[in-house]
Structures are given as structure tokens and as C-alpha cells.
Amino acid sequence: NAGVTQTPKFRVLKTGQSMTLLCAQDMNHEYMYWYRQDPGMGLRLIHYSVGEGTTAKGEVPDGYNVSRLKKQNFLLGLESAAPSQTSVYFCASSGNLNTGELFFGEGSRLTVL
Amino acid sequence: GDSVTQMEGPVTLSEEAFLTINCTYTATGYPSLFWYVQYPGEGLQLLLKATKADDKGSNKGFEATYRKETTSFHLEKGSVQVSDSAVYFCALTDNTNAGKSTFGDGTTLTVKP
């Protein structure tokens, strides 16, 4: 009963390094999203995808790239990490726009030194 | 654009007290409304939802009613327990815009025995 799985769960980077966060869902959902959560700021949408092979920018896309080569996977990349990208990242998926319910992963805590 | 404003925290209550967390929203369309709960170290999970005006969502003793006239979706529980201690997020989903969700900043609830 996996649902949405994120890897890695923790990562420490130095400024300028690159990394990729992987999100995998086993619910056959069309829609997938990447959010970042910062203290006192709720969740902010970084990028999203409405289906395999599609991606679009959210509220705070700068410094991030994404890919959705397979329906079940949604990758979030940081090409050159900055301290401002220290955050907790959540992936979510949705299979029904009428209800709009999101299913979340457990989060990935990223620290950029 | 869409926005969600929820009561600032933190909120501290004694066990068996009555809980209200206020949430108001602005949206151009007819969004679905949600309350999500986040326990320490975990991702968000759906607590309850309402998809149209006057709908009441309920789960685990929590309730919220979709009030279009006051653009509100206040969360209530008649008798809180220590296990209800968590962060609560109000959110709306624009069903006409790729299901993108907008979140409030979150309210931290601590229930003391």
C-alpha cells in the first residue's frame, strides 16, 4: 500500500551542487505536483504535471526543473543548489479533478550549506 | 489569484475542549475545499473535504461546512484529544485549472492532557 513515495528523505548539499528528487506513485494518477514547505508559509507549488510527458510552472519555479517521462514518476531537479532552497519538499498526486483530493508523500528534507 | 487565509497559531487547548480553526478563501471559480492534517515528520493527509456550497465534510469528529456566502470553511471539533495535536492546513482546489491547490499557512494545534 505504497501510495506516493519520495526519495531521498534527507539530503545535505553544498551550494552549487546538483541533485534530483524522485517521486513515484502507484495509483495511476494523471496529475502530479511538487511543493515546498517553509516555516509559517504553508505549501507553495513549484511545478506540476497533468500527464505523462507534460510539465508546467507553478508559483515558485525558479531554480528547479522537472520531468515526467513515465506516468508514475515525477522528478524534481536542482541544477545549482542555493541556501534559499533549503526546505522540505513534498510530492503529491491526484487522480480526480472533480474532487481535487491530493495524496502526499512523506517529504524530503533538503539542506543547502 | 486564489488565496486561503487561516487562523494564526499556535493554538493550545486542554483535552476535551472545543476547537475552532477559522479559514476563509478567495477564488474566481467554484473550488473544492479541504482540511489536511500533518503529524510531526509526516506528509499531509486529507482530513475532510467539501466540493460544493453548503456541503459539510466530516471525519474523526472534525467538521467543516462550505459557506459560499461568507467564503469560509471553518474547522470544528467538539472535544479534542491529545492525539489531535498536529498542524492543520486549509486548502482549496481549482478544478478548472489542472487541479492546482492553494494552501493556508497552517495552524499548529497542541492539546494538553
Q: d(Cα B104, Cα A105) in Å, to the nearest integer?
A: 19
CA-CA-CA-CA torsion sign (A51, A56, A59, A64): positive
Tens of pLDDT, residue by residue over A26-70, are: 999 999 999 999 987 789 999 999 999 999 999 999 999 999 999
- Are the Cβ atoms of A41 and B104 closer than 8 angstroms? no
- Are the Cβ atoms of A99 and B106 closer than 8 angstroms? no
- Are the Cβ atoms of B104 and A98 closer than 8 angstroms? no
Q: CB under 8 Å to A1, separation ≥6 — which residues?
A: none
Higher pLDDT, A7 or A97: A7
Task: Name chain A contacts of B46, Cβ cutoff 8 Å.
Answer: 101-103
DSSP summary character for residue A102: -
Tens of pLDDT, residue by residue over B6-45, are: 988 899 999 999 999 999 999 987 899 999 999 988 889 9
pLDDT at B113 over 90: yes
Nearest chain B alpha carbon to A51: B98
Per-residue model confidence (pLDDT) at position B59: 97
Q: d(Cα B68, Cα B100) in Å, to the nearest integer?
A: 20
Query: Which among A47, A60, A104, A106 is the top mutation candidate for probing chain B, defined by the most B β-carbons within 10 Å of its own β-carbon?
Result: A104
Query: Which among B23, B45, B93 is the top mutation candidate for probing chain A, defined by the most A β-carbons within 10 Å of its own β-carbon?
Result: B93
Q: Which of A108, A101, A93 lies closest to A37 in space, CA to CA?
A: A108
Locus of grid cell 510539465: A55
Q: What's CA B87's distance to the chain center, in Å?
A: 10
Q: How confident is the model at residue A9 (pLDDT cuts 50, 70, 90)?
A: very high
Which of A48, A99, A107 is nearest residue B43 as measured by Cβ atoms? A107
Task: Name chain B contacts of A107, Cβ cutoff 8 Å.
Answer: 42-43
Q: What letters, b where the CB count within 10 A reaches 16 and e where it falls short, cover B42-69?
A: ebbebbbbbbeeeeebeeeebbbbbbee
- Are the Cβ atoms of B43 and A100 closer than 8 angstroms? no
pLDDT at A3 over 90: yes
Per-residue model confidence (pLDDT) at position A1: 65
